[in-house]
Amino acid sequence: MSTISKLLIIASAVALTFASCSDEDPTTNDGTSGEVVLKLDHRWNGNPFALNQSLTHPVNAEGLSFTTLKYYISNVELKSTEGDWHKATDQYFLADAAQGENQLTVKDVPTGSYTDIRFMLGVDSLRNVSGAQEGALAVSNNMFWSWNTGYIFVKAEGTSSTSNSGQFTYHLGGFSGPNAANPVIELSFNGALLEVEGGSAPQVHLMVDPSHLWNGGETTASTPMVHMPGAKAKALMMAFKNGITWDHNHN
């Protein structure tokens, strides 16, 4: 074999070595991915929650009953043990208390160990200005304002013992300006690890307490209806945000 041929073989081997290294994803070294299931357990001040159930608010003692509770979760991210965040792109979820415990499946999560989760309560600005779409963002879900650009991030409706009308109707949204009402929630697993392996579907169990809607000072007596973006919508959203907490994982 000539010297030139030997050099060509060596050069090819070196090139393949560097190519394989440069193509390697640092989070998914084995090239596989799994799914993560978000389990949303609706509770009321620590007790089971259901629609059409007689409830008493733990702070202001209002008598309440929900006929509707729906809300969006989007832009889910998981933090690896290396400190990197993996974002689940183009995945939007509509939770509905009418289904009891909701299970939302986040797809294409790189294999690895994760320590934290964060997500948006609502829908990001880009999707809000893209018109009605499909899946969770479809118009048929009745979560898109016909009179205003954008989505309703939280829809809570029901009856109240103190409202003049005997009802409350909250259609909360707004994605721009000082009254943007799509906060990002970041939750630690408090030292626990979420282990994602190829083909696996571990679970992140979250508690959602809608009584927190009124823990920021609003009541159905003072604010029985919110149907547009603004300071009231933002205040209720920020209060509801605090009712979403991490409980445990199942690997």
> Domain residues of the chain, as ranges?
27-250
Give the span between the Cα atoms of 95 and 103, in whole angstroms. 8
| pLDDT tens digits along 156-207 | 999 999 999 999 999 999 999 999 999 999 999 999 999 999 888 999 999 9
DSSP code of residue 80: E
Pair type for strands 167-172 and 225-226: parallel
pTM for the whole thing? 0.86
Give mean pLDDT, residues 89-102. Answer: 95
CB 65 within 8 A of CB 158: yes
How many CA atoms are closer than 13 Å to the CA of 137, on its beta-carbon side? 19
Give the whole-number percent of the chain exceeding pLDDT 90. Answer: 81
SS (H, E, C) 77-128: EEEECCCCEEECCCCEEEEEHHHCCEEEEEEEEECEEEEEEEEEECCCHHHH
Angle in degrees, CA 95, 172, 147, rounded to 5: 110
Distance between CA atoms of residues 238 and 240, nearest Å: 5
Question: Do the bridges between strand 33-44 and strand 102-110 make them parallel or antiparallel, or are there none, so unpaired?
Answer: antiparallel
Asked if residue 90 has pLDDT above 90, the reply is: yes
Give the residue carrying structure tokens 């016909």.
146
Q: Could you read off the pLDDT of 107-129 as tens digits, one per residue?
A: 999 999 999 999 999 999 999 99
Stretch (H or E) spanning 164: none
Q: Helix, strand or coil for residue 93? A: strand
Mean pLDDT, range 63-74, rounded to an integer = 98
Q: Which residue has the higher pLDDT, 152 or 22?
A: 152
Q: State yes or no: pLDDT of 21 exceeds 50.
A: no
Q: Which of 23, 185, 48, 36 is nearest to 105 (CA)?
A: 36
Sign of CA dihedral 129, 108, 153, 156: positive
- Residue 114: its pLDDT value, please? 98
Query: What per-residue confidence (pLDDT) applies to 20?
Result: 34
Instruction: Write the DSSP symbol of residue 177.
Output: G
